[in-house]
Amino acid sequence: MRTKKGVVTSAKMDKTIVVSVHSYKSHAKYKKRYRVTTKFYAHDENNVCSEGDIVTIKETKPSSKLKRWALVEQVS
Protein backbone atom coordinates (compact mmCIF):
# COMPACT_ATOMS: atom_id res chain seq x y z
CA MET A 1 0.00 0.00 0.00
CA ARG A 2 1.12 3.52 -0.75
CA THR A 3 1.65 6.06 2.00
CA LYS A 4 2.02 9.81 1.77
CA LYS A 5 3.04 12.53 4.20
CA GLY A 6 1.43 15.95 4.13
CA VAL A 7 -0.17 18.85 5.97
CA VAL A 8 -3.82 18.99 7.02
CA THR A 9 -5.42 21.96 5.24
CA SER A 10 -9.03 21.38 6.35
CA ALA A 11 -10.63 19.47 9.22
CA LYS A 12 -14.11 21.01 9.07
CA MET A 13 -15.93 17.87 7.92
CA ASP A 14 -16.97 15.07 10.26
CA LYS A 15 -14.45 12.18 10.20
CA THR A 16 -12.77 13.62 7.09
CA ILE A 17 -9.59 15.64 6.63
CA VAL A 18 -8.07 17.24 3.55
CA VAL A 19 -4.32 16.63 3.27
CA SER A 20 -2.08 18.66 0.95
CA VAL A 21 0.94 16.76 -0.37
CA HIS A 22 3.76 18.58 -2.15
CA SER A 23 5.83 16.94 -4.88
CA TYR A 24 8.22 18.16 -7.55
CA LYS A 25 7.98 17.81 -11.32
CA SER A 26 10.52 18.63 -13.97
CA HIS A 27 9.69 20.66 -17.07
CA ALA A 28 10.17 18.57 -20.22
CA LYS A 29 11.97 21.19 -22.29
CA TYR A 30 13.66 23.50 -19.77
CA LYS A 31 14.39 20.92 -17.01
CA LYS A 32 13.41 23.38 -14.29
CA ARG A 33 11.88 21.75 -11.22
CA TYR A 34 8.61 23.15 -9.90
CA ARG A 35 6.43 22.27 -6.94
CA VAL A 36 2.99 20.69 -7.39
CA THR A 37 0.39 20.44 -4.62
CA THR A 38 -2.20 17.66 -4.58
CA LYS A 39 -5.14 17.44 -2.16
CA PHE A 40 -6.27 14.08 -0.76
CA TYR A 41 -9.41 13.40 1.26
CA ALA A 42 -8.66 11.03 4.13
CA HIS A 43 -10.75 9.26 6.77
CA ASP A 44 -10.12 10.41 10.35
CA GLU A 45 -12.24 8.11 12.54
CA ASN A 46 -11.81 9.91 15.87
CA ASN A 47 -11.53 13.52 14.60
CA VAL A 48 -8.11 13.92 16.22
CA CYS A 49 -6.49 16.12 13.55
CA SER A 50 -6.67 19.87 13.21
CA GLU A 51 -5.43 22.30 10.58
CA GLY A 52 -1.64 22.55 10.30
CA ASP A 53 -0.90 19.05 11.61
CA ILE A 54 1.61 16.93 9.70
CA VAL A 55 0.12 13.48 9.07
CA THR A 56 0.78 10.21 7.28
CA ILE A 57 -2.03 8.69 5.21
CA LYS A 58 -2.35 5.32 3.50
CA GLU A 59 -4.32 4.14 0.49
CA THR A 60 -7.51 2.17 1.23
CA LYS A 61 -10.61 1.05 -0.58
CA PRO A 62 -13.07 3.85 -1.39
CA SER A 63 -15.17 4.84 1.61
CA SER A 64 -17.13 7.62 -0.15
CA LYS A 65 -17.18 9.54 -3.42
CA LEU A 66 -13.85 11.28 -2.75
CA LYS A 67 -12.23 9.43 0.18
CA ARG A 68 -9.67 6.78 -0.84
CA TRP A 69 -7.15 7.39 1.96
CA ALA A 70 -7.08 6.79 5.72
CA LEU A 71 -5.13 8.42 8.53
CA VAL A 72 -2.19 6.31 9.79
CA GLU A 73 -0.51 8.61 12.30
CA GLN A 74 -0.27 12.20 13.37
CA VAL A 75 3.40 13.19 13.18
CA SER A 76 3.00 16.61 14.84
CATH number at residue 21: 2.40.50.140
Range of the domain at 70: 3-74
* pLDDT at residue 6, as a whole number: 98
Tell me the pLDDT band of 13, cut-offs 50, 70 and 90.
Answer: very high
pLDDT digits (tens, 9 = 90+) for 26-57: 999 999 999 999 999 999 999 999 999 999 99
The reported pLDDT for the residue numbered 21 is 98
In terms of pTM, does the model score above 0.75?
Answer: yes
Q: Which pLDDT belongs to residue 1? A: 83
Mean pLDDT of the chain: 97
Number of folded domains that form the chain: 1
How far, CA to CA in Å, does 74 sit from each of 27, 44, 45, 46? 33, 10, 13, 12
Q: How far is it, in rounded angstroms, from Cα 41 to Cα 19? A: 6
